[in-house]
Amino acid sequence: MSELSLQNGLPFVVVNLQHNGSHIQLSKVLLDTGSAATLLNIDHALELGLDCLPSDPLRRICGVGGAEFVFEKRVAYIALGLMKCMDFAIQIGDMDYGFQLDGIIGMDFLTQVGAQLDLANMKIFNTTR
């Protein structure tokens, strides 16, 4: 079970990622059920050694804040509390949305781990896996 924190009315969580032996913990990750994919801020991706290569898939994503191009990489794992996905594809982009974000946890992660939100108690957990 993990805590949700509200900042300016938006739910944020703490996420851990690992890639090629490097580990990073991010505390300003938006939990976004309206986002299909999980997205990482390029600055943190570079800390993990996730550089953009010509062979990386490029995507154009659109949201309320507009559109941007991102590239896709796989990380060894991404974890939200005890909920963990191994060999997980994430999208990496500039994330210039007018406020600081480390990343976005999207529906790809939430459905894969069977996440359940308890907004009355500001918690996220899974009971099935």
In order along its 129 residues, the chain shows pLDDT tens digits of 899 999 999 999 999 999 999 999 999 999 999 999 999 999 999 999 999 889 998 988 887 667 789 999 999 999 999 999 999 999 999 988 778 899 999 999 999 999 999 999 999 998 765
In a domain, 80, yes or no: yes
Q: So what's the pLDDT on residue 90?
A: 97
| CATH code of the domain in which 83 resides | 2.40.70.10
Q: So what's the pLDDT on residue 33?
A: 95
In a domain, 93, yes or no: yes
Dist. CA 42–CA 95, nearest whole Å: 8
DSSP letter, residue 33: T
Residues, the chain, total? Answer: 129
Q: So what's the pLDDT on residue 100?
A: 87
Q: So what's the pLDDT on residue 65?
A: 67
In a domain, 65, yes or no: yes
Task: Work out how many domains the chain is built from and give that number.
Answer: 1
Dist. CA 123–CA 47, nearest whole Å: 29
Q: So what's the pLDDT on residue 129?
A: 53
- Picking from 115, 68, 72, the residue whose alpha carbon sits closest to that of residue 94 is 68
Order of strands, sheet of 123-125, starting from the edge strand that comes earlier in the sequence: 2-3, 123-125, 116-118
Q: So what's the pLDDT on residue 72?
A: 96
In a domain, 129, yes or no: no
